[in-house]
A and B are shown apart, each in its own frame.
Chain A
Amino acid sequence: MLRCPGVDNLNMIEIDHVTKRYGEKVAVDDLTFTVKPGIVTGFLGPNGAGKSTTMRVILGLDRPTAGSATVNGKPYSELPAPLHDVGALLEARAIHTGRSAYNHLVAMAQTHGIGRSRVQEVIELVGLSEVARKRAGGFSLGMGQRLGIAAAMLGDPATLILDEPANGLDPEGILWIRNLLKGLAAEGRTVFLSSHLMAEMAQTAEHLVVIGRGRLIADTTVAEIVAQASQNAAVIVRTPQAGELRDVLVGDGVTVKSAEREVLEVHGLTSAEVGAAAAAHQIVLHELIPQNASLEEAFMGLTGGAVEYHAGALDPQLVDSIPEAA
């Protein structure tokens, strides 16, 4: 797969202080990060965070107001055969509705002198053989996504950029995408994948780049975010000796709250530690429930202040409590 070994920025996407303004609106604000080769990197952020814009800048569709984006060390527009370097699936449709899937792929392939046998291959890869000669305008959302993936795979690229590939897919389609991505990653390809769903990311991504309101919030691994999330996890204990247990547990880095009689919410200890402490002091426990903070909650915690559009019905108190984006 490696075409020119020795070049250290191979299959790497580098975003260097990219800012993109549309008139007054700043879509991406001084964003810097690197998509590392050979792994799946998730690009996470609420709707309107600037994910699509960043991807459009990488793909040379939008010119950054400031900064630069490079693929394999070059701006996308200077790649001599971009479809062999990068395959991309944009969120918005990029197919003429009047053209058949087959002809669309042939026209794309011809720009790079890619043969029709490869067109046939990618059609089979995404399972569109039966409808390939039909007009793309009549395709369902799922079929459109499959066609987009087929186009991305045409040049057998080492790097894939996929904007919300699971968007609008039915469970079967999501499963298909997930398996496909796992396969692509297993082959050592670089995958840069955006989503606004943390759970979706946890399934596939190894590394995470999180943005909100166009700014970088986190550039970390999934494991780290999970660890962070579980740090704040609580243990719920039901005991008739709530007062005694509280006195036993409270200490350095441990907080205990009580939501109702005989129920304690313990932060800073694992359920095993709580159970051991109770046993040591002969305290009777009726329930001992670890509350794992979900990835979704971790994501909300990260991006809470950076959500572009809040639902109108949000509790005003809640909105006030969300810190402003840094």
Chain B
Amino acid sequence: MSAVASPQTTPTRVGSPAGRVTQANVLRSEWTKLWSLRSTRWSLLASFIAMAGLGPLVAAVQMSRWNQLHPHDRATYDAINTAVGGYHLAQLAIGVLGVLVITGEYSTGMIRSSMMAVPRRLPVLWAKLLVFAVVTFVLMLIASLISFFAVQAIVTQHHVQHGIGDPGALRTVIGAALFLTVLGAMCVGLGGILRNTAGGIATFVGLLFVLPGISAILPSSVNDSISPYLPLNAATTVASHSFDNSHHLAVWAGFALFCGYTVLAVAGAAVSLRRRDA
């Protein structure tokens, strides 16, 4: 860099007269922000590999040990559940990334630049949610489809495969992507409420994975009545081909409830963003 850069700031009138803040412009900005961080790219790649690869891996192991499996396990083997099993791993990466989408801006101070550029603030939240949701859904759907067809090809050797047209198959494959997408949105909301990476991730893990554990140590009558309404149990109905009905709501009812929780988290983030100092 030159020592004393002469301040050539001839006011070249930049920015077309139309250069004002619009939701579409903010969306473009958030798209750039999402993809210009190495951590985001790695997290998305990791969740893609998990979603696409874990199912086939598990299926291959199971097929190789097919004859040692318990007859009951063989009789109830669900190759569709195996195919979407990657979400168990992907949900962690997507959830953490969702939290980071917002808390990463607070921890680095970037939020101040974002809020100065878009002082009405909420367009930033909507743009972050939309960009992250679309990216997550597209990537997870592709990964889920890859896993589905790979798993079915693998399990054909023992004739337990399903076609994508079988009852519930397509719903489960798309459902896994839907679940991960809404989970990501919920974590964006949590990040917006807490503004702190560690706090956001702890809350996400607590709500989804710790609550069921606490519920399980309660008297079973209590557990049975609470359990279907816990976020993760409600959410994963849509991403499961077959499940134990006693602990789950109906497929779309469960998913709708999870969407409701997510709306609460996002609303909390919106209020916090509007009210609190940046």
Contact = CB atoms under 8 A, between A and B. Distances in A.
Contact of A96 (B4, B30, B110, B119): B110
Given A1-B11, A61-B277, A61-B278, A113 B36 contact: no
A303 B18 CA distance: 46
B224 interface: no
A95 interface: yes
Contacts, number: 165
Contacts of B15: 81, 84, 112-115, 118, 155-156
A189 to B, nearest CB: 8
B104 interface: yes
A94 B112 contact: yes
A153 B267 CA distance: 34
Interface in A90-148: 90, 92-100, 103-104, 106-108, 110-115, 118, 121, 125-131, 146
Nearest to B24: A113
A81 B19 contact: yes
Given A125-B8, A125-B9, A156 B14 contact: yes
A88 B117 CA distance: 10
B7 A111 contact: no
Q: Chain B interface residue count: which class?
A: 35 or more
Interface string B1-32: 11111111111111110111110011011101
B5 A80 contact: no
Interface residues of A, number: 61
Contact of A187 (B9, B30, B32): B9
A226 to B, nearest CB: 26
A57 B95 CA distance: 34
Given A125-B7, A179-B7, A183-B7, A112 B25 contact: yes
Contacts of A198: none
A176 B4 contact: yes
B33 interface: yes
A47 to B, nearest CB: 19
A59 interface: yes
A96 B28 contact: no
A94 B117 contact: no
Contacts of A99: 33, 36-37, 110
Given A93-B108, A118-B15, A146-B1, A107 B119 contact: no
B39 interface: yes
A127 B109 contact: no
A60 interface: yes
Given A81-B19, A156-B14, A107 B29 contact: yes
A121 B12 contact: yes
A262 interface: no
Given A62-B278, A106-B32, A98 B39 contact: yes
A108 B29 contact: yes
A179 B6 CA distance: 7
A100 B14 CA distance: 22
Nearest to A180: B7
Contacts of B115: 60-61
State the majority secondary structure of interface residues on B.
Answer: loop
Contact of A156 (B7, B13, B111): B13
B2 A107 contact: no
A213 to B, nearest CB: 20
Among B10, B22, B36: residue with most chain A CB under 10 A: B36
Contacts of A121: 12, 14
Nearest to A96: B110
A146 to B, nearest CB: 7
B250 interface: no
Contacts of A96: 33, 37, 104-105, 108, 110
A315 interface: no
A153 B36 CA distance: 22
B44 to A, nearest CB: 14
Contacts of A172: 3-4
B25 to A, nearest CB: 5
B120 to A, nearest CB: 6
B20 A60 contact: no
Contacts of B32: 103, 106-107, 110
Given A115-B14, A118-B14, A108 B108 contact: no
Q: Which 8 A-B pairs have the closest CB atoms?
A: A183-B7, A127-B1, A103-B36, A110-B29, A94-B112, A81-B20, A77-B119, A96-B110
Interface of A: 1, 56, 59-63, 76-84, 88, 90, 92-100, 103-104, 106-108, 110-115, 118, 121, 125-131, 146, 151, 153, 155-156, 172, 175-176, 179-180, 182-184, 187
26 contacts: A56-B277, A59-B119, A62-B277, A81-B21, A94-B113, A94-B116, A95-B109, A95-B110, A96-B33, A98-B38, A103-B36, A111-B26, A111-B29, A111-B117, A112-B21, A113-B16, A115-B15, A118-B15, A125-B9, A151-B113, A156-B13, A156-B14, A175-B4, A176-B5, A183-B6, A183-B7
Given A82-B116, A127-B1, A179-B6, 7 more contacts: A59-B116, A61-B112, A81-B15, A96-B104, A98-B38, A99-B36, A108-B117
